[in-house]
Amino acid sequence: MAMANIFKASTIPTFIFLLLLSCNTIIISHAQTPAPAPGLSYTFYRTTCPQLESIIQQNLRTVFASDIGQAAGLLRLHFHDCFVQGCDGSVLLNGSASGPSEQDAPPNLTLRAQAFAIIENLRRLVHNACGRVVSCSDITALAARDAVFLSGGPNYSLPLGRRDGLTFATRNATLANLPPPTANTSTLLNSLGQKGFTPTDVVALSGGHTIGISHCTSFTGRLYPTRDPTMDQTFFNNLRITCPAINSTNTTFMDIRSPNVFDNRYYVDLMNRQGLFTSDQDLYTDSRTRSIVTSFAVNQTLFYQNFVSAMIKMAQLSVLTGTQGEIRANCSRRNSNDLFILPTMENDQDEKLASY
């Protein structure tokens, strides 16, 4: 019998902590806050929309009070936006490969429809208060920040001033930039390394899986025809009940210990071989990332610091600034609503407002 099965979930963190006091494996140190990307700043909307952050946080408090699951949807939306052609709101455009018009979406990439509606509603509230000065990509980044904080995670300030892109992400670009849940650690380190993320960043960002749900099809390859040997037997037995066939349409929580709380229990799951995806569990199997997982499992403060640093890095990937792109009047479509018209040919009204 696997050792993990002997311990009730609630006793495991203490057990691991005691175990680690006798080993000297903690190597991860305090993370630096990444500098703002050129064109972004912490005071970007100070005069043009001082109410921005309070409007977003107040609305999301209401949204999460009735359904905390939406926090996970918003966090994942920001991740998909940033990884595919930069944080430019491209994921929000109708026609984008992962939504909101989902016809083209690879099934394993589907984002929550409600996340798009929440962002568009926030845009409406913000633009009603301040005019069309705040981009959909900034709103998405702030919503993800508040999703983490309002789920019990760390708070952090975000450099702002992103502009919205004019082209949506194609299916190919989406698939090429988002690693699949079947990826091993080598694939993750390579893929995220190309975007400038260190192994510590990769492990920290994967901690986003401490909240939210997954569809069975994202991991049933680990259940059928036989158990992935790196998966805990009891966890496997339970997942087979939730997902009785390889094509089951059911969903399950990703962090079984505290599915709706942004804490470090995801790493405790991994140490107990209860990670849902290969891309999660392999972080503990692989010797290059194992000690990072362990250090986050025993020290939540350390996880929070490294998560915040990696999130600020992610939130600044290939951003559009200054006069690039536009400030969309509707997050799901370009202002011109015609992908074949060049940005310079937009009507004067749009151009004036968008040049803030």
What are the tokens at 50?
């001082």
By a kind-dependent CB cut-off of 5 to 8 A, residue 155 interacts, out of ligand HEM, ligand NAG, none, with ligand NAG
- Look at residue 330 and give the partner it binds from ligand HEM, ligand NAG, none, a contact being a CB closer than 5 to 8 Å depending on partner kind: ligand NAG
Q: Give the binding site for ligand NAG (CB under 6 A).
A: 30, 53, 94-95, 101, 106, 108-109, 155, 157, 172, 175, 178, 180-181, 184, 186-187, 242, 244-245, 247-248, 250, 299, 301-302, 305, 330, 332-333
Compute the least distance from the CB of residue 139 to ligand NAG, in Å: 14
Least gap, CB of 179 to ligand HEM (angstroms): 5
Residue 182's nearest CA partner among 264, 290, 108 is: 108
Interface with ligand HEM by CB under 6 A: which residues?
72-73, 75-76, 79, 108, 112, 179-181, 183, 188, 205-206, 208-209, 211-215, 218, 277, 279
Name the nearest CA neighbour of 228 among 168, 161, 273, 165. 273
The residue among 152 and 180 lying less far from ligand HEM, judged by its C-beta, is 180
- Three-state DSSP string of 273-301: CCCCCHHHHHHHHCCCCHHHHHHHHHCHH
State how far the alpha carbon of 71 is from the alpha carbons of 181, 195, 287, 314, in Å.
20, 25, 32, 18
Enclosing H/E stretch for 142: helix 136-150
Question: According to the annotation, is 255 in a ligand binding site?
Answer: yes
- Smallest gap from Cβ 281 to ligand HEM, in A, equals 11
Write the DSSP symbol of residue 323. T
Q: At 94, which amino acid appears?
A: N
Residue 75 and residue 212 in contact, taking contact as beta carbons nearer than 8 Å: yes
Residue (57 or 318) nearer to ligand NAG, CB = 57
d(CA 22, CA 138): 45
Answer yes or no: is 295 a known binding residue: no
Q: Is the CB of 209 or the CB of 257 nearer to ligand HEM?
A: 209
3-state secondary structure of 15: helix
Q: Residue 196 and residue 30: Cα distance in Å, rounded?
A: 18
175 binds, among ligand HEM, ligand NAG, none (CB under 5 to 8 A by kind): ligand NAG
- Cβ proximity to ligand HEM, 67 vs 338, nearer residue: 67
| DSSP summary character for residue 213 | E
CB of 244 to ligand NAG, least distance (A): 5
> What is the rounded distance in angstroms from the CA atom of residue 290 to the CA atom of residue 118?
37
80 is catalytic: yes
Q: Which of 30, 78, 80, 215 is catalytic?
A: 80
Distance of closest approach, residue 182 Cβ to ligand NAG, in angstroms: 6
Cα gap 193→221, rounded to integer Å: 26
Binding-site sequence positions: 81, 84, 86, 88, 90, 102, 179, 209-210, 255, 263
Binding-site sequence positions for Ca(2+): 81, 84, 86, 88, 90, 102, 210, 255, 263
User: Would you please indicate which residues are annotated as catalytic (active-site) residues?
Assistant: 80
